Structure 1
Amino acid sequence: MLHQLLHTWLGWVENWGYLGVIILMAMESSIFPVPSEVVIPPAAILAASSGKMSLAGVIIAGTFGSWLGSSITYWVALLVGRPVVHKWGKYFFIPPDKLERAERFMHRYEAGGIFFARLLPVIRHLISIPAGIIRMGFAKFSALTIVGAAIWCTVLAKLGEKIGKGLDPSKPIDPDELVKSVKGQSHLVIGIVLLVCILYFVGMKLSSHKDEKPA
């Protein structure tokens, strides 16, 4: 089933161009399990090989789609509130305990938490929910989401461009091999992002302990 979905999503990118990228990245940034690794890299490959799209256009479309999906999730979470998410969240892999941890995380790391979450797989599509529930300012949420998404889409686009140079343009793109290739080459990037995140959160924790000391 996953293999068929990958083929379908890849077809959207090939046939719909920027619109396909926007729709799929909007899904990826909400509760739908669309891997960005099968959206941006093939779009970048198509941009380099066919001229139907530009690399900058792919990055902009991916960033806009990420913001759109995140914004929809943010407003849904803000409007329906915690009780509804508590009741129905488990059907979307968001049990109450995970939601509570996410809320505590957002209260403590607000701006930095949103920014770094946009760079990390899996966390990306969940962070908008606690942001909406705690009523984080939408302008701030949007700015951090756009910057983080732009960085991630640029990384994936560059990886796609690099991978595309080693592909035979006469052969169709195999989505399974594409995802495998992207993940294989993105480990270093993800590792660096994780290291920066760890340093940031350790710094926040140490500074909070310092602030708690009596004068």
Structure 2
Amino acid sequence: MTPTNQVMMSALAQATQQPTDGVAGWAIEMMEKLGAPGAGLAVALENLFPPLPSEVILPLAGFAANRGDLGLVSAIIFTTLGSVVGALALYGVGALLGRDRTRALIGRLPLVKLEDVDKAEDWFNRHGAKAVLFGRLVPVVRSMISVPAGVERMALPLFLALTAFGSLVWNSALIIAGYALGEKWHVVESSVGVLQYVVLAGAVGAVTWFVVVKIRSRSSADEKVE
């Protein structure tokens, strides 16, 4: 085990109080061997099989960037790409199998609860396309929101765009927090509930501002035509 790997394993063990010879250790191995693409791979698989939450992987990637083991920007890019790939896989399952067969499949998977799928489905039914964007900022919903989007055959380009933007915002927030905190990166996991609402409020504000600017711009253009 290299010195970098030892530091990462020790940091993870202290933060999570869990053994690091399973998925956690594998995630760290991926980051050490593959760099930022390894972090992206870990996040992609976390979307499908969540034994190690992204609330741990992302701040840990930020800590690795703080140490110089990863590039901060590349960590954000690759983890966002991993999020999109994992989400696309779940979208494909929902689209190909439909609601009932997808639920039956998920019900047989370890560490995945049908209640989580129901929560994401309810979120999607109430909020539509906005659920895909803002759902990426909400634990549990973040992974499972892709399933009802696939079942309902949401337009794929729109799904990918909203997923990428929402993932970029969330991944950046957690990675930068881990980077800023350094060896205290694990504080992010315990504070993720507060961070979630801060990021969600910021995202809603940004989208609202964008819509207002577009409406004003269109109104100005109409007035000039008249």
> How would you bin the TM-score normalised by the shorter chain?
0.7 to 0.9
Q: Aligned ranges for residues 42-121 of structure 1 at < 5 Å?
A: 42-50=60-68, 52-92=69-109, 93-95=112-114, 99=117, 102-121=120-139
Residue from 30, 34, 37 that aligns with 2:48: 30
TM-score (norm 2): 0.71
The answer on 1:10 being equivalent to 2:32 is no
Q: Residue deviations 1:92-114, cap 9 Å, x none?
A: 3343x765564343233112111
Q: Give the secondary structure class of the aligned counterpart of 2:128.
A: helix
Q: Aligned letter for 1:58? A: A
Measured at CA, do residues 158 and 115 of structure 1 come closer, stay the same or move farther in structure 2, by a change above 3 Å? same
Identity among equivalent pairs (%): 29
Task: Compute the displacement of 1:13 (Å).
Answer: 1.6
Which residue does the alignment assign to 2:196?
190
Return the alpha-carbon distance in structure 2 between the equivalents of residues 62 and 98 of structure 1.
23
Decide whether aligned partners of structure 1 residues 198 and 11 sit closer, same or farther in structure 2, where only a CA change above 3 A counts.
same
Match of 2:141 in 1: 123
**Which residue in 2 is equivalent to 1:138?**
156
What do the CA deviations read for 1:58-78 (whole angstroms, capped 9, x no partner)?
Answer: 100110000000001101110
RMSD: 2.7
Q: How far apart are 1:122 and its partner, in Å?
A: 1.7
The 1:196–1:60 alpha-carbon spacing in structure 2 relative to 1, beyond 3 Å, is: closer
Cα distance in 2 for residues equivalent to 1:163 and 1:123:
26
Q: 1:38–1:12: structure 2 CA closer, same or farther, 3 Å change rule?
A: farther
8 Å Cα contact 2:91-2:149 kept in structure 1: yes
Are residues 81 and 31 of structure 1, via their aligned partners in 2, closer, same or farther at CA, if it must alter by over 3 Å? farther
* Separation (CA, whole Å) in 1 of partners of 2:191 and 2:117: 32
Q: What pairs with 1:133-172 in structure 2 (closer than 5 Å)?
A: 133-164=151-182, 167=183
Residue 140 of structure 1 and its aligned partner are, at CA, apart by: 0.8
Q: Gapped runs of 5+ residues in structure 2?
A: 1-16, 206-226
Question: What amino acid maps onto 1:49 in structure 2?
Answer: R
> 1:74, 1:129 within 8 Å by CA — same for their partners in 2?
yes
- Count residues with an aligned counterpart: 185
Preserved contact between residue 58 and residue 175 of structure 2 (Cα < 8 Å) = yes
Structure with the bigger RCO (C-alpha within 8 Å, sep 6+) is: 1
